[in-house]
Structure 1
Amino acid sequence: MPEITVKVASSVGLHARPASLFVKAAAKHSGPVTIGRPGGTPVDARSMLSVLGLAIEHGEEVVLHTEGDDADKALAELSRLLVTDLDS
């Protein structure tokens, strides 16, 4: 059950296009993937409404958690997306 805390680099936070790219990438993985604020309640990273509902802003830290056969690969790919400014 890998988990990592990363800082969101997107200049608009995890909204609109960056959120869409993140959710699509999360949906490709076989096991559950969650995202949330440190100490907060995580949400399903494959749900656009749930991810948008977090209202994650630029520079905020989020916790990613993955499970399943490709958990490490999923964590690496998704964290790489979050630390990249996807809106540039």
Structure 2
Amino acid sequence: MKHFEYMITDPIGIHARPAGLLAKAAKALNSVVTVGKPGTEPVAASRLMALMSMGIKHGDTVTVTVDGGDEDTNFQLMKRFFEENL
């Protein structure tokens, strides 16, 4: 299991468009990817509505966990996704 923390830089946070892109990217991987923030239970990144219900806003720090499958490659892919899209 690998994880990283990321501070959301998107001015609106994780809203419909980036949440949809994240869910699509997570579904394409052979690892389980979860997203959590302090005080909440982590959710599967492949679940669009769960991501949106977290209310993640600009400046929030989230913890992204990649577990199973090709962890090393998928970890790097998720890290790059967050840096480029969120």
Same fold (TM over 0.5): yes
Structure 1 unaligned blocks of 5 or more: none
Q: Is the 8 A contact 1:24 1:46 kept in 2?
A: yes
Residues 1-88 of structure 1 mapped to structure 2, 5 A cutoff: 1-84=1-84, 86=85
With structure 2 as the length reference, what TM-score do the two structures score?
0.87
Superposed CA RMSD: 1.7
- Greater helix proportion: 2
Mapped to 2, the partners of 1:76 and 1:38 lie a distance apart of 23
Q: Structure 1 stretch 53-62 or stretch 32-41: which is displaced more?
A: 32-41
1:57 maps to amino acid? K
With structure 1 as the length reference, what TM-score do the two structures score?
0.85
Q: Is the 8 A contact 2:9 2:59 kept in 1?
A: yes
Mapped to 2, the partners of 1:68 and 1:38 lie a distance apart of 23
Shift of 1:70: 1.6
Mapped to 2, the partners of 1:23 and 1:16 lie a distance apart of 10
Runs of 4+ in 1 over 3 A off after TM superposition: none
Mapped to 1, the partners of 2:23 and 2:60 lie a distance apart of 18
Q: Secondary structure at the match of 2:34?
A: strand
Post-superposition Cα deviations, 1:3-58, rounded to whole Å, max 9, x if no partner, equal 11111121210111111111111111112110010353100110001100111001
Mapped to 2, the partners of 1:78 and 1:39 lie a distance apart of 22
Structure 2 unaligned blocks of 5 or more: none
Count of equivalent residues: 86
| Sequence identity percentage | 31
Q: Secondary structure at the match of 1:50?
A: helix
